[in-house]
Amino acid sequence: MHHFLVLINIVILAAFIAGLYIMQRKHVSFSKRVFTALGLGIIFGFALQFIYGPTNEVTLNTSDWFSIVGSGYVKFLQMIVMPLVFISIVASFTRLKLTKNIGKISILTIGILLATTAVAAGIAIVTTTSFNLESVQISQGDAEAQRGAYLEDNLTNLEAKTIPQQIVALFPANPFLDLTGARSTSTIGVVIFAAFVGIAYLGIKRKKPEEAAFFSKIIDTIYAIVMRIVTLILRLTPYGILAIMTKTVATSDMDAIVKLGKFVVASYVALIAMFLVHLLLLFIMGANPITYVKKAFPVLAFAFTSRTSAGALPLNINTQTKQLGVPESIANFAGSFGLTIGQNGCAGIYPAMLAVMIAPTVGIDPLTPSFIFTLIAIVVISSFGVAGVGGGATFAAILVLSSLNLPVALAGLLISVEPLIDMGRTALNVSGSMTAGVVTSKLTKDLDTKVYNTPAVADTVDA
C-alpha cells in the first residue's frame, strides 16, 4: 500500500514541476517562479508531514525519490563550481580587467568579508546574552551524545595544526586535486592557481604576443562554454528548490523545533540582524538595498533551501554580473573568496553563539571585555578555510571552541534543529559574498549603476 502512496506523492510533485515549466514557457519571471516553487515546497512538505509524519516509511521513501530532482540539481551546480572559478579568474587576466586593480580588489573583498564576520560575531554575542541562552538549558539525548562524540573526534584531527599551518593549508600543493574539491580550502587553492596562470599569461603576452593571443582565444571559448553550462543548470533552479524544500519540511522534527524554539528564534534574530547590516552597508555605499533584496532573492532562496554556499556560486556570480552590475572579475573574486573566507553565518554567528552559550559551564563570564575581544578575534581568524558545503559551520565551531579551551562536545546539543538553523546561515553566507562584490565595485568605481538600478532586468537565466 505504501508504494502506491509514494507513487501518488511523486505524481503530485511531477504536476507541480509541470506547472513551473508552463510558467517558464509563458515567460513568467525567474524570481516569481523561484518564489512559487518555495511556497509550493513548504505547503507540500507540511502536507506530507501532517498526513504521514516525518519518520513514516511513506515520507522517507517519497523524500528519497524527490532527491533525484533536489539533490541531483545541487550536484549539477557543484559539478560546475570549480571549472567556473578557475576559468573566470583566468579570463579576468586575459581580458585585462584585473591587471591594475588585482591587489586592491583582493584586499577590499577579503577585508569586507572579514569585517562583516567580526560584526556578525558581535551580533551573535548580543543576541545570545539577550535571550539568556546557556547550553545547560538543553537536555542531552542519544543523538546529542553521539554528535558530541563525533565533534570530539574531529577535534583531535585539528589540534595538531597551528594557525600558521592552517594558513599554509590554503596554498595549492596539487591544483588538480583542488579542482576536484577534495579539501575544505580547495576553492581558495584554485583561485591562487588561476591567478598564477593569469600572471604567467601577462608575462607571455609581453614576450610572445602571438602565443598569448592564441591562449586568450582558447580561454574565451572555454569561458563561453562554461557559462552556457551554468545557464542550462540554473534553468532548473525552481524545480530543485521545490523538491529540496518539500523534503526538508516533510522530514523535519517539529517536536524538537518547538522544544528548542528559543534557540531557533535567537539564531534567526541574529541572522536577520546581520542581513540588515548588509543592507545598511549597501545603503551607505549609495546602493538601493530594496533593489538588492529583489534581485538577490532567487540566490538567497536557493542557498536557504539547499544549505550549500558552493552550490549557489553559479547563481551568485550570474546575479552579481547580470542583475547587480558587478564586473565579472570582482564577482568571481567575491563569490570564490566568500566560499571559504568570512562566512557571516557559518563562521561568524554560529561559533560565537555556541561560545557564549558554553562559556558559563566552565566558569567563564562571556560578557568580560577580554573574552569578547578574544572571541571575535578567533572567529575572524578561524573563518579562513571554512568549507562552503554542509558541515562548514561545525568545522568553524570546533576551531573556535577549541581555541578558547571550551568543551567541544556541548556543541552537539543543537543537532536536532541544526538543519533548520543552517538554512538561514547559508543564505546569510551568500548574501555576505554578494554584498562584498557590490561594495568592492562601488569602492573601485566599477559598479554599473545603470544595471543595478534597472527595476526589471531581463531573465538572463532563460536566454
Give the range of the structural domain holding residue 427, as residue numbers without chain letter: 2-462
For 393-413, the pLDDT digits (tens) are 777 777 787 778 877 766 666
Q: Which residue has the cell 510533485?
A: 13
For 155-164, the pLDDT digits (tens) are 455 455 566 7
For 360-385, the pLDDT digits (tens) are 877 888 889 999 999 999 888 877 75
Count how many residues are written for the chain: 463
Q: What is the pLDDT of residue 142?
A: 46
Q: What is the pLDDT of residue 385?
A: 58
Which H or E run includes 245?
helix 237-251
Report residue 246 CA to chain centroid gap: 20
Q: Label residues 234-269 b or e (16+ Cβ within 10 Å = b).
A: bbebbbbbbbbbbbbbbbbbeebbeebeebbebbbb
Q: What is the pLDDT of residue 171?
A: 81
At 88, list the grid cell. Answer: 573566470
CATH (domain of 242) = 1.10.3860.10
Mean of per-residue pLDDT scores for the chain: 83
For 202-216, the pLDDT digits (tens) are 889 888 988 989 999
Residues 6+ apart with CB under 8 A from 149: 409, 412
Q: Give the pLDDT band of residue 259 (cuts 50, 70, 90).
A: low
Q: Give the pLDDT band of residue 3 (cuts 50, 70, 90).
A: confident
> Could you give the percent of the chain with pLDDT greater than 70?
85
Integer Cα distance of 405 and 155 in angstroms: 11
Looking at residue 328, its amino acid is E
Residue 82 has pLDDT above 90, yes or no: no
> Could you give the percent of the chain with pLDDT greater than 90?
30
Q: How many domains does the chain have?
A: 1
Mean pLDDT of all residues in 223-230: 88
Residues 6+ apart with CB under 8 A from 364: 371, 406
SS3 call for 391: coil
Residues 6+ apart with CB under 8 A from 47: none
Mean pLDDT of all residues in 126-131: 91
Q: What is the pLDDT of residue 221?
A: 93
